[in-house]
Amino acid sequence: MFDTMTVTKAGGAVCGALLIFLLGNWGAESLYNTEPAKVHGEEVAQAYTIDTGAAAAPAAGTAAAGPDFATVFAKADASKGEQVFGKCKSCHKIDGTNSTGPHLNGVVGRAVASVAGFNYSDALKKVGGDWSPEQLDKWLESPKAFAPGTKMSFAGLPKVEDRADVIAYLKSLGG
Protein backbone atom coordinates (compact mmCIF):
# COMPACT_ATOMS: atom_id res chain seq x y z
CA MET A 1 0.00 0.00 0.00
CA PHE A 2 2.70 2.52 0.95
CA ASP A 3 5.60 2.18 -1.34
CA THR A 4 8.56 4.49 -1.77
CA MET A 5 6.95 6.43 -4.62
CA THR A 6 3.84 7.27 -2.56
CA VAL A 7 5.92 8.53 0.35
CA THR A 8 8.05 10.59 -2.06
CA LYS A 9 4.94 12.12 -3.64
CA ALA A 10 3.46 13.00 -0.23
CA GLY A 11 6.75 14.56 0.91
CA GLY A 12 6.98 16.53 -2.35
CA ALA A 13 3.40 17.76 -1.94
CA VAL A 14 4.10 18.97 1.60
CA CYS A 15 7.33 20.69 0.51
CA GLY A 16 5.58 22.27 -2.50
CA ALA A 17 2.72 23.55 -0.36
CA LEU A 18 5.19 25.01 2.14
CA LEU A 19 7.15 26.66 -0.67
CA ILE A 20 3.97 28.23 -2.13
CA PHE A 21 2.94 29.45 1.33
CA LEU A 22 6.37 31.02 1.98
CA LEU A 23 6.50 32.68 -1.46
CA GLY A 24 2.93 34.02 -1.00
CA ASN A 25 3.84 35.37 2.44
CA TRP A 26 6.98 37.04 1.08
CA GLY A 27 5.03 38.60 -1.80
CA ALA A 28 2.29 39.87 0.49
CA GLU A 29 4.81 41.43 2.89
CA SER A 30 6.51 43.15 -0.05
CA LEU A 31 3.25 44.59 -1.35
CA TYR A 32 1.60 45.54 1.92
CA ASN A 33 4.49 46.56 4.14
CA THR A 34 3.52 49.55 6.32
CA GLU A 35 6.84 50.08 8.05
CA PRO A 36 8.91 53.11 6.96
CA ALA A 37 11.41 52.28 4.24
CA LYS A 38 15.03 52.16 5.41
CA VAL A 39 18.25 52.31 3.41
CA HIS A 40 21.48 51.59 5.28
CA GLY A 41 19.60 52.01 8.56
CA GLU A 42 18.18 55.48 7.70
CA GLU A 43 14.51 56.15 7.09
CA VAL A 44 13.75 57.40 3.56
CA ALA A 45 10.71 59.17 2.15
CA GLN A 46 7.98 57.10 0.54
CA ALA A 47 7.07 57.54 -3.10
CA TYR A 48 3.90 59.45 -2.22
CA THR A 49 2.25 60.98 0.81
CA ILE A 50 -1.44 61.25 1.58
CA ASP A 51 -2.11 64.61 3.20
CA THR A 52 -4.75 64.27 5.91
CA GLY A 53 -4.51 67.92 6.90
CA ALA A 54 -3.66 67.04 10.49
CA ALA A 55 -0.23 68.71 10.36
CA ALA A 56 -1.55 71.85 8.70
CA ALA A 57 -4.50 72.34 11.05
CA PRO A 58 -4.58 75.88 12.45
CA ALA A 59 -4.00 76.34 16.14
CA ALA A 60 -7.06 76.64 18.36
CA GLY A 61 -8.43 80.16 18.44
CA THR A 62 -6.75 81.14 15.17
CA ALA A 63 -9.18 82.43 12.58
CA ALA A 64 -8.67 81.52 8.94
CA ALA A 65 -7.31 84.39 6.90
CA GLY A 66 -9.56 85.87 4.25
CA PRO A 67 -12.30 88.41 3.77
CA ASP A 68 -15.22 88.44 6.16
CA PHE A 69 -18.69 87.49 4.97
CA ALA A 70 -20.18 91.00 5.13
CA THR A 71 -17.51 92.37 2.77
CA VAL A 72 -17.96 89.52 0.29
CA PHE A 73 -21.77 89.62 0.51
CA ALA A 74 -21.76 93.34 -0.36
CA LYS A 75 -20.11 92.42 -3.69
CA ALA A 76 -22.08 89.17 -4.28
CA ASP A 77 -23.31 88.36 -7.78
CA ALA A 78 -26.75 86.73 -7.98
CA SER A 79 -26.11 85.41 -11.52
CA LYS A 80 -23.03 83.53 -10.29
CA GLY A 81 -25.12 82.35 -7.36
CA GLU A 82 -27.66 80.89 -9.77
CA GLN A 83 -24.88 78.77 -11.29
CA VAL A 84 -23.64 77.62 -7.87
CA PHE A 85 -27.26 76.86 -6.91
CA GLY A 86 -27.08 74.04 -9.48
CA LYS A 87 -25.55 71.95 -6.68
CA CYS A 88 -28.69 72.50 -4.60
CA LYS A 89 -31.27 71.70 -7.30
CA SER A 90 -31.12 67.96 -6.75
CA CYS A 91 -32.81 68.40 -3.35
CA HIS A 92 -34.36 71.91 -3.31
CA LYS A 93 -36.88 73.60 -5.59
CA ILE A 94 -37.58 77.28 -6.06
CA ASP A 95 -41.12 76.93 -7.37
CA GLY A 96 -42.77 76.74 -3.94
CA THR A 97 -42.97 72.95 -3.73
CA ASN A 98 -40.99 70.71 -1.42
CA SER A 99 -38.72 67.95 -2.65
CA THR A 100 -36.11 66.00 -0.70
CA GLY A 101 -35.44 69.34 0.99
CA PRO A 102 -37.82 72.25 1.61
CA HIS A 103 -38.46 74.83 -1.10
CA LEU A 104 -36.18 77.85 -0.94
CA ASN A 105 -38.55 80.59 -2.09
CA GLY A 106 -38.19 83.47 0.35
CA VAL A 107 -35.70 81.61 2.51
CA VAL A 108 -33.69 84.77 3.28
CA GLY A 109 -35.41 86.30 6.30
CA ARG A 110 -37.74 83.33 6.83
CA ALA A 111 -37.88 81.55 10.19
CA VAL A 112 -35.65 78.49 10.44
CA ALA A 113 -37.49 75.17 9.94
CA SER A 114 -40.78 76.90 9.12
CA VAL A 115 -41.95 75.55 5.74
CA ALA A 116 -45.37 74.02 6.27
CA GLY A 117 -45.61 70.36 5.39
CA PHE A 118 -41.88 69.64 5.55
CA ASN A 119 -40.53 67.27 8.22
CA TYR A 120 -37.39 68.97 9.60
CA SER A 121 -34.82 67.23 11.78
CA ASP A 122 -34.94 67.91 15.50
CA ALA A 123 -31.45 69.44 15.24
CA LEU A 124 -32.68 72.12 12.82
CA LYS A 125 -35.86 72.77 14.82
CA LYS A 126 -33.66 73.58 17.84
CA VAL A 127 -31.69 76.25 15.94
CA GLY A 128 -34.50 78.81 15.96
CA GLY A 129 -34.28 82.37 14.70
CA ASP A 130 -34.44 83.53 11.09
CA TRP A 131 -32.38 82.71 8.03
CA SER A 132 -30.41 85.95 7.90
CA PRO A 133 -27.59 86.12 5.31
CA GLU A 134 -25.06 85.58 8.11
CA GLN A 135 -26.98 82.58 9.45
CA LEU A 136 -27.26 81.11 5.94
CA ASP A 137 -23.52 81.63 5.47
CA LYS A 138 -22.77 79.51 8.54
CA TRP A 139 -25.29 76.87 7.43
CA LEU A 140 -23.97 76.64 3.87
CA GLU A 141 -20.36 76.43 5.04
CA SER A 142 -21.06 73.17 6.90
CA PRO A 143 -24.61 72.06 7.66
CA LYS A 144 -23.42 69.22 9.91
CA ALA A 145 -21.26 71.59 12.00
CA PHE A 146 -24.03 74.23 12.17
CA ALA A 147 -26.72 71.78 13.32
CA PRO A 148 -25.21 68.44 14.38
CA GLY A 149 -27.76 65.72 13.66
CA THR A 150 -29.30 67.45 10.64
CA LYS A 151 -30.76 65.27 7.89
CA MET A 152 -29.08 67.38 5.21
CA SER A 153 -26.24 65.33 3.75
CA PHE A 154 -24.62 68.15 1.72
CA ALA A 155 -21.01 68.73 2.81
CA GLY A 156 -21.17 72.51 2.35
CA LEU A 157 -19.64 75.25 0.23
CA PRO A 158 -16.06 75.95 1.35
CA LYS A 159 -15.63 79.23 -0.59
CA VAL A 160 -17.13 82.30 1.08
CA GLU A 161 -17.63 83.86 -2.37
CA ASP A 162 -19.81 80.94 -3.51
CA ARG A 163 -21.89 81.12 -0.34
CA ALA A 164 -22.38 84.87 -0.71
CA ASP A 165 -23.38 84.50 -4.39
CA VAL A 166 -25.92 81.75 -3.58
CA ILE A 167 -27.42 83.80 -0.76
CA ALA A 168 -27.66 86.84 -3.07
CA TYR A 169 -29.43 84.64 -5.64
CA LEU A 170 -31.87 83.28 -3.04
CA LYS A 171 -32.51 86.82 -1.79
CA SER A 172 -33.30 87.93 -5.36
CA LEU A 173 -36.02 85.25 -5.58
CA GLY A 174 -37.97 86.93 -2.81
CA GLY A 175 -41.02 85.20 -1.33
Residue spans per domain, the chain: 75-173
Share of the chain above pLDDT 70, in %: 83
Amino acid letter for position 108: V
Mean pLDDT of the chain, nearest integer: 85
Amino acid letter for position 9: K
Q: What's the CATH number for 75-173?
A: 1.10.760.10
User: Per-residue pLDDT averaged across 46-67, rounded?
Assistant: 60
Cα–Cα dist 19/31, whole Å: 18
Cα–Cα dist 104/166, whole Å: 11
pLDDT in tens, 108-166: 999 999 998 889 989 888 988 999 999 999 999 999 999 998 888 888 899 999 999 99
CA separation (Å) from 129 to 11, 18, 64, 91, 125? 80, 71, 26, 23, 10
Cα–Cα dist 58/55, whole Å: 9
pTM confidence score: 0.62
Q: Name the pLDDT band for 36 (thresholds 50, 70, 90).
A: low
Q: Name the pLDDT band for 171 (thresholds 50, 70, 90).
A: very high
Amino acid letter for position 155: A
